[in-house]
């Protein structure tokens, strides 16, 4: 079962439903089409449907669409079913870059997060291993690395915390000049 095949199937099925504007109707149709899509196995269909359901959650929160529910943890209304966007926004993240401008930008992004997989955070350089140089240009350096913890991927309702994905490959972009790090990097983000 290859990720390439799942990604291709996901894209193919998604392209079949471009004309449906109602969010719930669109995702119901995507799930239905996945069930009848003959190019992938049953297990692959489950993975594609899981991706569509994650997308559905994201768009429900993004557009404040669908039925709200009361979160069992924070008791605020939320749109997602598998997590609470409010719990994510108020989560106590524990990292600091040592640069107030960068830390404030990260905190602002975290306070607007709507999905466990899209949380912006500062990761200290020593959390990466297997670092290889790719390219250098002017004051920047591009590297590839492995990140053992990985990004956040889901909310654990029982433990009331974000769960990390685990080991993943990442691209690192280093800036050599502090002035560029404070200005260009922030503009880029």
Question: What pLDDT was estimated at residue 145?
Answer: 95
Question: What pLDDT was estimated at residue 88?
Answer: 94
Half-sphere exposure of 166 (CA within 13 A, CB side): 0
| Residues 45, 131: Cα–Cα separation, whole Å | 35
Among candidate residues 65, 76, 53, the one with its CA nearest the CA of residue 154:
53
Task: Please tell me whether residues 137 and 54 are part of one structural domain.
Answer: no
Whole-number Cα distances in Å, 84 to 56, 87, 107, 115, 155: 14, 5, 18, 9, 8
Task: Please tell me whether residues 23 and 116 are part of one structural domain.
Answer: no
Task: Please tell me whether residues 101 and 50 are part of one structural domain.
Answer: no
| Residues 176, 178: Cα–Cα separation, whole Å | 7
Task: Please tell me whether residues 178 and 92 are part of one structural domain.
Answer: yes
DSSP H or E stretch at residue 145 = strand 140-147
| Residues 151, 166: Cα–Cα separation, whole Å | 7
Within-domain flag for 17: yes
Angle at 14 between CA 21 and CA 56, to 5 degrees: 60
Question: What pLDDT was estimated at residue 101?
Answer: 83
Task: Please tell me whether residues 140 and 179 are part of one structural domain.
Answer: yes
Within-domain flag for 76: no
Whole-number Cα distances in Å, 105 to 13, 23, 90, 179, 182: 37, 31, 15, 16, 11
Within-domain flag for 73: no
Ranges of residues in the chain with a pLDDT under 50 are none
Question: What pLDDT was estimated at residue 21?
Answer: 85
Task: Please tell me whether residues 136 and 43 are part of one structural domain.
Answer: no
* Domains of the chain: total: 2
β-bridge mates for residue 137, sequence order = 140
pLDDT digits (tens, 9 = 90+) for 4-36: 999 999 999 999 998 888 889 999 999 999 999
DSSP assignment string, 3-35: HHHHHHHHHHHHHTTTT--SHHHHHHHHHHHHH
Question: What pLDDT was estimated at residue 175?
Answer: 64
Question: What pLDDT was estimated at residue 183?
Answer: 65
* 16: containing domain: 3-62
Within-domain flag for 69: no
Within-domain flag for 74: no
Task: Please tell me whether residues 102 and 183 are part of one structural domain.
Answer: yes
Within-domain flag for 45: yes
Task: Please tell me whether residues 35 and 98 are part of one structural domain.
Answer: no
Task: Please tell me whether residues 58 and 134 are part of one structural domain.
Answer: no
Within-domain flag for 131: yes
- 14 close to 54: Cβ distance less than 8 angstroms: no
Question: What pLDDT was estimated at residue 181?
Answer: 56
Task: Please tell me whether residues 87 and 58 are part of one structural domain.
Answer: no
Within-domain flag for 71: no
């Amino acid at each position: 079962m290859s990720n390439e095949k799942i990604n291709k199937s996901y894209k193919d099925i998604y392209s079949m439903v471009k004309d449906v504007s109602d969010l719930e109707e669109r995702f119901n149709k995507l799930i239905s089409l996945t069930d009848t899509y003959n190019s992938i196995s049953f297990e692959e269909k489950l993975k594609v449907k899981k991706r569509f359901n994650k997308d559905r959650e994201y768009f429900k929160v993004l557009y404040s669409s669908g039925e709200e529910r009361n979160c069992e943890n924070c008791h605020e209304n939320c749109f997602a079913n598998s997590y609470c966007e409010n719990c994510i926004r108020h989560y106590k993240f524990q990292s600091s870059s040592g640069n107030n401008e960068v830390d404030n930008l990260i905190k602002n992004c975290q306070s607007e997060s709507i999905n466990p997989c899209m949380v912006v955070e500062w990761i200290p350089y020593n959390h990466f291993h297997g670092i290889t140089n790719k390219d250098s240009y002017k004051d920047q350096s591009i590297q590839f690395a492995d990140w053992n913890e990985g990004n956040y991927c889901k909310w654990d309702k029982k433990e009331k915390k974000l769960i990390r994905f685990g080991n993943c490959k990442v691209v690192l972009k280093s800036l050599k000049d502090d002035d560029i790090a404070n200005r260009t990097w922030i503009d880029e983000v």
